[in-house]
Amino acid sequence: MHASSSLGDGAPFTSPDVDELAGSSQLLEEGATYVLPLFPLSGVVLLPGEVLPLFLHSPRDILKLQRALRLPAGEPTARLIAVTHESWHSILSTVGCTAEIRRMRRNFELQDGVQAAAAGGGPGGVRARVSVVAVVARGRQRLLLDRVALNDTFRVRVKVLPEGLAEAPPRQMLSGAAFWGSWATRPFDVPALALRVQQLCSGVLPQIASKFGSSSRLHGPLSLQRYTYWLASNLPLGAERRQQLLECFDTAERLRLILGWLTRLGVLACKYCGATVAHCSSALLMSSEGAGGAHSFVHDIATFRSVQGLSYQGQPETAHSWFPGYAWTIANCARCRDHLGLRFTACSEGLRPSVFWGLRRSAILCPELQRPRTGGGLLRGREEPLLGQDQRPVLMAMAEAIGLAFPMGDLGTGDEEEVEEGEHEDEDEEEDDEEEDEDDEEDEEEDEEEDEEASGGEREL
């Protein structure tokens, strides 16, 4: 099974023998438990609203798909599957996403060869016609997997996680016992957070920000929620970061997380050797659905208009190109030779851009995001602020992160210094007591030696 969480106008689904399936138009009840077939995907995190192409060649996977398609159209789980991320050491994430099957192409044949193997698809040196079932699904709702039932992926109990619940401000703000300025409530103001995120995105990722349009579209809870998922789908982030966004409790938490990352996004490097390969400002969108791969071995990739430090393998190929009119070439890191993605070149003069690159999200990283984000006071050494015991300094740190001015300084630094000084004083007192005890022991030993000498002299007399 090969998958990608993004899809362009891929050749496998432009054929006339593709079946358009009418799925369930209603969403599942939030908080309710359902039974769905589970499809673990390595290196892919599906978010609500994203398109997911699947190429199924295993009899087990095809049987699971058939069971999902057999349900009547009136059933709530008709044509629904559960998708979750599988890490490289075969650990499944318990938070996943439901996906609705939209299109299907039966008995789709692809050629498995050396170039497909180099692109991450199969064993090299063997060319054969492989018959698969190609489907297109779209992410719908977040879900929580039942850990007890993970042994059987045919029927897994899942609980639909709620959406749209705004995180309430701390109870200290609502008690009226003290004055709280507007800076304290801004971290929970979803429209203000979304506007700040869009402003930062325009500077860090201008090509992506231009695709969304003006800020007038950021109105209403549903629009803001969809915006966070749309932006999360198009940020050049790896599976671990995308999984963090999927597991966020609400829209405000997701926006705060994206906001912190946007302030640090910059150079992108090869995950294997650390060589610089691109910059976030060169990221772009090639279609409304995202991008894909080649030879139907699709990767979760981000597209860029310019890169550096890459070498290329083989000749340009047009077979099964995910972008009609473009030929793909395998792109490797020039330093370590690991596979990073594909280069797409236009086959005709009318196509724009004439060349672009698709880099695998799992093969690149932002070095700045890998470094721990340190600060002063109670947040020292934490990458992300945690809401919990002491809300006031945490809220001030949040306000500072989103560019807001607040009247008070860091509450944690002075107290920590006093505590440290007190600790040093206690340590000095303990050391003095230990030295006095050692002196007393030495005096006692000398007295005992004098007594022994005196008693020995008496015996001699």
Single out the residue of 301, 373, 352, 368 nearest to residue 330, CA to CA.
301
Q: Looking at residues 364-389, what average pLDDT do you find?
A: 56
**Looking at residue 274, what is its pLDDT?**
94
CATH 3.40.50.1820 fits 2-160, yes or no: no
Single out the residue of 351, 350, 329, 348 nearest to residue 340, CA to CA.
329
Question: Cis link prior to 169 (omega < 30° from 0)?
Answer: no
Question: Does the pLDDT at position 217 exceed 80?
Answer: no
Please tell me which residue, 440 or 11, carries the higher pLDDT value. 440
Q: Mapping DSSP to helix (H, G, I), strand (E, B) and coil, where does residue 246 land?
A: helix
2-160 against 276-365: fold identical: no
Q: How confident is the model at residue 335 (pLDDT cuts 50, 70, 90)?
A: very high
**Looking at residue 17, what is its pLDDT?**
64
Bridge partners, 276 (sequence order):
269
Beta strands 38-42 and 80-86: pairing type? parallel
**Looking at residue 451, what is its pLDDT?**
57
Please tell me which residue, 166 or 97, carries the higher pLDDT value. 97
Q: What is the DSSP letter of 209?
A: H
**Looking at residue 197, what is its pLDDT?**
92
- Reported as a single tens digit per residue, the pLDDT across 336-351 is 999 999 999 999 888 8
Q: What is the CA radius of gyration of the chain?
A: 30
The CB-side HSE value for 21 (13 A sphere, CA atoms) comes to 24
In the block, residue with structure tokens 């969809």: 226
Reported as type and span, the H/E element at residue 317 is strand 310-317
141, 81 in Cβ contact below 8 A?
no
How many Cβ atoms from other residues are within 10 Å of residue 47's Cβ? Answer: 19
Q: Looking at residues 179-198, what average pLDDT do you find?
A: 77
Q: Is 218 left (phi over 0), alpha (psi -120 to 50) or beta?
A: beta
Q: How confident is the model at residue 20 (pLDDT cuts 50, 70, 90)?
A: confident
Which of 90-94, 187-191, 308-312, 381-385 has the highest mean predicted lDDT (pLDDT)? 308-312
Q: Mapping DSSP to helix (H, G, I), strand (E, B) and coil, where does residue 385 land?
A: coil
**Looking at residue 163, what is its pLDDT?**
82
Q: How confident is the model at residue 318 (pLDDT cuts 50, 70, 90)?
A: confident
Q: How confident is the model at residue 170 (pLDDT cuts 50, 70, 90)?
A: low
CATH of 276-365, one of 2.170.150.20, 3.50.30.10, 3.40.50.11540, 3.30.450.30: 2.170.150.20
**Looking at residue 394, what is its pLDDT?**
46
CA distance 156 to 361: 28
Question: Does the pLDDT at position 34 exceed 90?
Answer: yes
How confident is the prediction for the chain on average, in pLDDT? Answer: 74
Q: Which two tokens stand for residue 57?
A: 């060649």
**Looking at residue 191, what is its pLDDT?**
84
Bridge partners, 34 (sequence order):
158
Q: What is the DSSP letter of 220?
A: S
Count of residues in the chain: 461
Q: Mapping DSSP to helix (H, G, I), strand (E, B) and coil, where does residue 54 land?
A: strand
Question: Does the pLDDT at position 297 exceed 80?
Answer: no
**Looking at residue 129, what is its pLDDT?**
53
Q: In percent, how much of the chain has pLDDT > 70?
A: 60
CA distance 243 to 96: 9
How many Cβ atoms from other residues are within 10 Å of residue 350's Cβ? Answer: 7
CA distance 191 to 294: 39
Please tell me which residue, 174 or 351, carries the higher pLDDT value. 351
Question: Does the pLDDT at position 15 exceed 70?
Answer: no
CA distance 98 to 76: 12
pTM for the model:
0.71
13-17, 239-243, 375-379 — which is least confidently predicted? 375-379
- Reported as a single tens digit per residue, the pLDDT across 234-269 is 888 888 999 999 999 889 899 999 999 999 999 999
Q: Mapping DSSP to helix (H, G, I), strand (E, B) and coil, where does residue 43 land?
A: coil
**Looking at residue 130, what is its pLDDT?**
55
Q: Is the dihedral of CA 149, 150, 155, 160 positive or negative?
A: positive
Q: Looking at residues 267-274, what average pLDDT do you find?
A: 95
Q: Looking at residues 171-199, what average pLDDT do you find?
A: 74
68, 79 in Cβ contact below 8 A?
yes
Question: Cis link prior to 353 (omega < 30° from 0)?
Answer: yes
- Reported as a single tens digit per residue, the pLDDT across 118-134 is 334 444 444 445 567 88
Q: Angle, to 10 degrees, between the axis of helix 251-262 and the axis of helix 391-401?
A: 50
In the block, residue with structure tokens 């138009």: 25
Query: Hey, where are the domains in the chain?
Result: 2-160, 171-265+372-401, 276-365
Bridge partners, 279 (sequence order):
267
